[in-house]
Chain A
Amino acid sequence: MTLLSTRGLSKSFDGLQAVTNVDFDLPQGEVRALIGPNGAGKTTLVGMICGRIEPTSGRVQFDGQEITSLPAHARIMRGMAYTFQITSVFARLPVTENVALAARRRLTGRAVDQAVEDALARVGLTDEAHEEAGNLSYGHQRLLEIAMGLAQSPRLLILDEPTQGLSEGEIDDFKALIRELAGDTTILLIEHNMNVVMETADQVSVLNFGEILAEGTPQEIHKNDAVQAAYLGTG
């Protein structure tokens, strides 16, 4: 079953075409990596999917329903979660409160505390629970972003460059976490680290100059000449 699909999705900023006519389908339960050179339009594309950016034209469907005209918060309530590329945690609030804000959207009372505890344990931030989020290291703030995504217990988790700035060890933990989530949660992963893509993704979509250049398994993409050219030639 297809959880998310877009048809003819386009966005132009002041005449500059950022995303052109993207038809994109994401089946339920899949881990999909979205890759492409810098400026290929990846963040713009997911921005339109989760409602942060209004498309110039095209449609978005989620769970079989038209959501093109829904505001971002309503899409989130239908089961999307988006973690920011640039860490955007609540720096002056405690780590627990950051995650609790995410959890409270669907839970109340004691269940919130439990969900917070679970999410923090899964990303390995239990010891930092009572720190102020702004005092965490950059890598830990990225993990906190992911924990906030988890606490929403989304059907579709959109991760925008989650491993950027993480240490080797943290990246290994992250890969394990994705493998754990795979199956229950559909994941759309924007990623630069090809190592992570190869090891976690079921399928890969390549975006170049705002258009889908290729789709396939990580192995297929790895061998694809057009993709190689895009990365080496213009990237």
Chain B
Amino acid sequence: MSASARIIALHLGLLVLLFALQFILPAYHHGNLARIMVLATYAVGYNILFGYTGLLSLGHALFFAAGMYGMGLTIQHMGFTPAPALIVGILAGALVSGALALLALRTVGVSFMIVTLMFAQAGYLTVLYFGEYTRGDEGFVIQQAQRILWGIDLSDATNRYFAAWALFSVSFIVSLWLVRSPFGRTLVAIRENEERVRMLGYDTYRHKLAAMVISGTISAAAGAFYGLLFGYAGASFASVQYSIFPLLWVLLGGAGTVLGPFVGTLFMFYLIDLSSGVTSAYLLIAGLALVLLTLFAPQGLVGEIRRRIWKDLP
């Protein structure tokens, strides 16, 4: 098998495995995995900007929430059905990420991080401010009757698993294709040395802009599906914490690897799940993981595998 074929086999293998798992997993883990796949989609989106383009955003909750509320509010207040509502959510994410990119890409490094943090915080506060529609921190439930997509009841566990799997598969394949394409390779080069890329004749600003919109749109899709599949939209999904989570998942799994976001989300989810039996302060685990990863394993799990074993893993 050629190197390229082995890489594709490995990645498609994961999708096949995830599809098959639904038939054997007990209900509890079955539900967890559906949730993990949607959250991993969020991490996949985050990874395109952070892992491959080298831009560390602290404001992705803005995009996740744009998707969630774009979907949720149109269903709740305008009587949309799920399909157009999802489209509204995804478009909202594309729009918001494009607008933020136009502003934030004027800055670099630490300023970029703080600008994204500030605008996301403004977004979170806006959700609270319009509490009349969003119901603020309390959030609102999307009723079972409103969650039927093309006759499929998404509140049913099996359907939900399948929808989460489909969403994750699409984002995963897009991500794999993207980073192996000339465009994705240029993003990696921008991460490594932007000035040099510019002097090879690339408009690096446009590349970064596109990367941020793609990243934001995938994040918004994750947010929209999360709200629809689990029937709830709340302000906490727009808070700083939800900007930190994808960073954490991607760091743990391995920034700049296609498999990393899923691996990181899976591990962190179960780490927190297991620790919640011991303590209510589950975020302690997140904090410790962030510090330890930064100190001792900045490459993440899949990053280490790439460094030690499989050098041309994308």
Contacts and interface: CB of A to CB of B under 8 A. Distances in A.
Q: Do chains A and B touch in the complex (CB under 8 A)?
A: yes
A90 B192 contact: yes
Contacts of B19: none
Contacts of B193: 88, 90
A148 B189 contact: no
A52 B198 CA distance: 9
A194 to B, nearest CB: 27
B195 interface: yes
B185 interface: yes
A89 interface: yes
Contact of A152 (B189, B201, B203): B201
B202 interface: yes
A76 interface: yes
A182 interface: no
A97 B185 contact: yes
B200 A148 contact: yes
Interface string B178-207: 000010011011001101111111111000
A73 B198 contact: yes
Size bracket, chain A contacts: 20 to 34
A74 B192 CA distance: 21
B192 A92 contact: yes
A146 B199 CA distance: 13
A88 B195 contact: yes
Size bracket, chain B contacts: 10 to 19
A105 B196 contact: no
A52 B204 CA distance: 13
B200 A90 contact: no
Contacts of A97: 185, 189
Contacts of B195: 52, 88
A209 interface: no
Contacts of B201: 73, 76-77, 105, 152
A76 B196 contact: no
Contacts of A90: 189, 192-193, 196
Contacts of B185: 97, 100-101, 104
A232 B16 CA distance: 73
A82 interface: yes
A12 B153 CA distance: 68
Nearest to B188: A93
A74 B188 CA distance: 21
Contacts of A91: 192
A93 B189 contact: yes
A72 interface: yes
B62 to A, nearest CB: 29
A105 B202 contact: yes
A105 B195 CA distance: 15
A50 interface: yes
A91 to B, nearest CB: 7
Nearest to B312: A94
Interface in A77-108: 77, 82, 84, 88-93, 97, 100-102, 104-105, 108
Interface of B: 182, 185-186, 188-189, 192-193, 195-204
Given A84-B199, A88-B196, 15 more contacts: A52-B195, A73-B201, A73-B202, A76-B199, A82-B199, A84-B196, A89-B196, A90-B189, A90-B192, A93-B188, A101-B186, A101-B200, A105-B200, A105-B201, A148-B200
21 contacts: A52-B199, A73-B198, A73-B202, A74-B203, A76-B199, A76-B200, A82-B199, A89-B196, A90-B192, A90-B193, A92-B192, A101-B185, A101-B189, A102-B200, A104-B182, A104-B185, A104-B186, A105-B200, A105-B202, A148-B200, A152-B200
